[in-house]
Structure 1
Amino acid sequence: MSSKVEQLQYLMSCLRDEAFGCTWDKKQTYKSIAPYTLEEAYEVLDAIEREDFDHLKEELGDLLFQVIFYAQMAEEEQRFTFDDIAAGIVEKMLRRHPHVFPEGDITRFGEPTMLSEEQIAQQWQQIKAQEKGKKPDGSSLLDEVPASMPALMQAVKIQQKVAKVGFDWPDVAPVFDKIREELDELEEAMKEQNRLHVEEEMGDVLFAVSNLARHLNVSPDVALNKTNIKFRRRFGRIEALVSAQNKTLTDCSLEELDRYWDQTKREGL
């Protein structure tokens, strides 16, 4: 085996070996390991956010193992191989980067591109549309957005799709108005004490806020994750401050905890 990737492929085939493989690995399916794939992807994002590059190397390995796992199962079923996966993405990237590979040949570079970043993005979308071809009758523009995608990410993808056909506000001001409108409707739903209506209106608020994030060119998932990290950091400091007083969190009133919270902010956490 000449490469580490080949070693990894061989290792996976051994784990799935009918006679001598690992019982757990042998019984897995595409659907059963899908949650692990999502978990590994989030762990990659977490390592990037923390700029923990040693951990990032490890997490990327775990994510690669997921791809190897799918490829092994597909090869067993004679569907496709890992090489087919790699070949497919190489062909796609060559096709979608004519400004870098004008002849679609990986061995031949073109001249330095004069296209702007916006023009390159437009070109990318045009090529994607050509690849997908004409949509079958009865299909929806939103069929391409996976329903299994995390909710905030899915909301942004939906908004991006409809914006391309003109269903969007021209600037950010009406988005703020929409958020205020949705907050008012949520408050009214709360007065009704109807849980299902509250849930519906809460969803509308989140959809509107994710739309604001899109207009501001901010990923709501990334922004919320950063806030989660900040909250963890500050709350950890509160726990340390409370412990230093030989107290527990439940010994403290909300006013005391708020004072500790303000202290963490003053400390720049």
Structure 2
Amino acid sequence: MDYIELTVQAPRELAEILVAELGEVGFDTFEDNDAGFCAYTTEDAFDRDAVAEIMSRYEGIGELAFSDRIITRQNWNAEWEKNFQPLIIAERVSVRAPFHPKPAGLEYDIEIMPRMSFGTGHHETTALMIENQLDIDHQGKRVLDMGCGTGILAIMAEKLGARQVLAVDVEPWTVENARDNAAENHCRTIGCRLGGAETLADEAPFDLILANINRNVLLEDMHEYARLLPSGNPILFSGFYEEDLAKITAEATRQGLRYERHRTLRSWVSAIFTKL
């Protein structure tokens, strides 16, 4: 199955509204750019009429334009090899493709080949999650990475000392990619699973949960994450904008999670909560 990339040109204040609207019609990954943003969904979930209807509601509010294209699995590696640049996060973590040289003088080095998955560290939410991970004790912990994408957060968790990591995603090629990236980074504690929160019914508790997905999925599945987290343990959320933090916090409070702190980058958020 291939992806649909929707390219939207819109002013910032309108772009944030459109991201929320598109999240209701199947788009679950968003990447900002100078002109607006790109949104991604699978080809089978793409409804061109629904997108056109959303866009028509906002005609005349600033300069608005949009187009879509198919990104095939065959073309994905070539696209990333052309555009993917090495990244340094918090002056401590290198994120690079296997064809980039390893930088010197950093604590952690992660190799990522995205293929058909998202989450290389270049998106604000992934970088923010890694920064928050650096502040959390992973040593000897059992960790859940929900919406694992490329597996970068799971790999970071093992490098920070986790004893066991479960990486979960709803897309088959994403799980395959996460598994390959874990092997590329010589990880031994990471298991990869296809599915969503429904696959966690028989799981034992986790010491730390990482959930970088999107606002709607976080709100829908937060009760399941909270159930799997013992009292006093942290959970990291991302995949939403600053204006959504109040909704995330309100639902977290209902589920017995206490807000601790959050980071922001270009209006994206990664927040830390603790189970009461």
TM-score range, shorter chain: under 0.3
User: Rg larger in 1 or in 2?
Assistant: 1
Higher helix share: 1
> RCO higher in 1 or 2 (8 Å CA, sep ≥ 6)?
2
TM-score w.r.t. length of structure 2: 0.27
